Amino acid sequence: MKRLSIAGIAAAAMVAGTCAMAQDEAPPSPMEKTTTTTTTWTVGPEERTVIHDYVVRKRPEAVKEDVAIGAPVPEDVELQPVPEEVYARVPEARRYQYFDWGGRMVFVDPDSRKVVQIVD
């Protein structure tokens, strides 16, 4: 579980560093290929508690694939809307969808289907 947290922190730091570097670069020419960056979301300790409590009580159907922040979620993984009892106390969660991954709530950007946060 510590590895997952460390991996999430490392991924967030890498994305933040990439964003900072991107501001110093000139805009790409029309001939250059552009890439899409993944939105990250920081979840505080109190917010983690709200989300964790929901997962423990509801236990949504689990997904068996490996999951990482920034990785796309396979199309066969069914995403669920974030429950009102979670986004009422964690408003940032409303724009995402989620699925259960071994008792962890994995938040996904519904437009890109990329993982933005994993809360255990």
Q: Where are the domains of the chain?
A: 2-119
More confident residue, 56 or 91: 91
- For 93, the token pair is 């969660």
Predicted pLDDT at 80: 92
Q: Domain 2-119, what fold?
A: Nuclear Transport Factor 2; Chain: A, (3.10.450)
Which amino acid belongs to residue 35?
T
Summarize pLDDT for 58-111 with one digit per residue, the tens: 665 556 667 899 999 988 888 999 999 999 999 999 999 998 888 888 999 999
pLDDT band per the 50, 70, 90 thresholds, residue 115: very high
pLDDT number for residue 46: 84
The per-residue pLDDT for range 22-41, each reduced to its tens digit, is 444 444 544 444 444 455 66
Query: What φ, ψ does residue 18 adopt, rounded to 5°?
Result: -65, -40
What is the rounded (10 degree) CA torsion for 14, 20, 26, 32? 20
Cβ contact 15:40 at 8 Å: yes
